[in-house]
Amino acid sequence: MSLVKYSLIAALLTSLAVPAASALAQSYPSRPIRAIVPYAPGGGTDVAARPVAIRLSERLGQQIVVDNRAGANGNIGTEIAARAQPDGYTLLFGSTGPQAINPSLYANLPFDMVKDFAPVAMISQAIYLLVVNPGLPAATVSEFIQVAKSGNHKLVQASSGIGSPAHLAGEMLKIMTQADFVHVPYKGGGPAAAAVIAGEANFMFIEITVGTPFINAGRLKLIAAATPKRVSKLPNIPTMAEAGLKGFDVTGWTALFTPVGTPRPIIDRLNSEVRSVLKLADIKERLAIDGSEFGDNAPEYLGTLLKEEIAKYAKLVKVSGARVE
């Protein structure tokens, strides 16, 4: 076949593919969609997913059924999603734990987040704050580090569980400051906060939504935000980076994925609708986010972020020695 004929055929196929892709996006969806949340109802990922699912179903014209498949720290639901048909009718509301931390925390996962999933869009962020028991003689990050390294106090860090972002934030703090303290995991952020308030532990990294009521009531002392830049809701609170810990960043997130192989027109349609949903006033209020923090929130943005997060937490898990079988 001559080069000219080959070029003409290729051009013809391309011209035919564009309308076909457009038609696929326009006809999708034609039946209800299952959205898997790999945690129990009422958890952070579920709370972020449900209002978005409701609004997304309104825009798509089909019901989105939230399917909670809890177990194994999010691994069970994630595996179910990974094995689903890549047709756009099974979605995964993933989060930092199972998607970015578990690949290093578990020896043999039955899925690969990079190879088995196609990123769609970011949904929300979970900002973490460094808080201490009000009786601890520290009001700033530098004072906290001095106390931790003084030897006069053997500090105890409470967390929401082994390998959680809250736990690994402490490991990052150890690496950056060479401070030493004991880590005690609890069954969730609430019990961990109760331990710090009661004096069983000295400090913790807590999600802003969980910690704010305790901070406002004076039961926890707020030291800093574990974010690269100041939190809009707490403009007067410095970040860990501003205190000299350059690069300190532990931010949880919820994001939407589909099984790999899902046609790109469907991914683009979902991405476009999600971005529209995140601009709605009631959704922004529920999720307490500013969508601009996600850049343009394209699938490529989420894909890059996921790889960066997996690499970041792999180092922290290795240093901590954390392992779950």
**Exposure string over 234-272, b if 16+ CB within 10 A, otherwise e:** beebebbbbbebeebbbbbbbbbbbbeebbebbbebbbe
**Domain holding 33: CATH number?**
3.40.190.150
- Confidence at residue 126, expressed as pLDDT on a 0 to 100 scale: 85
- Are 14 and 121 in a shared domain? yes
Helix (H) or strand (E) holding 118: strand 117-132
**Domain holding 175: CATH number?**
3.40.190.10
Q: Is residue 243 part of a domain?
A: no
Each residue's pLDDT expressed in tens, for the chain with a length of 325 residues: 554 555 565 555 555 544 555 566 678 999 999 999 998 888 788 888 999 999 999 999 999 999 999 988 899 999 999 999 999 999 999 999 999 999 999 988 999 999 999 999 999 988 899 999 999 999 999 999 999 998 777 899 999 888 889 999 999 999 999 998 999 998 888 899 999 999 999 999 998 888 989 999 999 999 999 988 888 888 999 999 998 899 999 988 999 999 999 999 999 999 999 999 999 999 988 887 655 567 779 999 999 999 999 999 999 899 888 877 6
Dihedral pair phi/psi, residue 99, rounded to 5°? -85, -35
- Are 12 and 110 in a shared domain? yes
- Are 67 and 203 in a shared domain? no
Q: How far is CA 176 from the centre of its chain?
A: 23
- Confidence at residue 313, expressed as pLDDT on a 0 to 100 scale: 92
Segments forming the whole domain that contains residue 82: 7-125+252-320
Q: How far apart are CA 2 and CA 7, in angstroms?
A: 9
- Confidence at residue 292, expressed as pLDDT on a 0 to 100 scale: 54
Q: Is residue 238 part of a domain?
A: no
Q: What is this structure's pTM?
A: 0.83
Residue type, 38: P
Helix (H) or strand (E) holding 171: helix 165-177
Q: Is residue 2 part of a domain?
A: no
Q: How many domains does the chain have?
A: 2
Q: How far apart are CA 147 and CA 179, in angstroms?
A: 9
Q: Is residue 49 part of a domain?
A: yes
Q: Is residue 170 part of a domain?
A: yes
- Confidence at residue 3, expressed as pLDDT on a 0 to 100 scale: 47
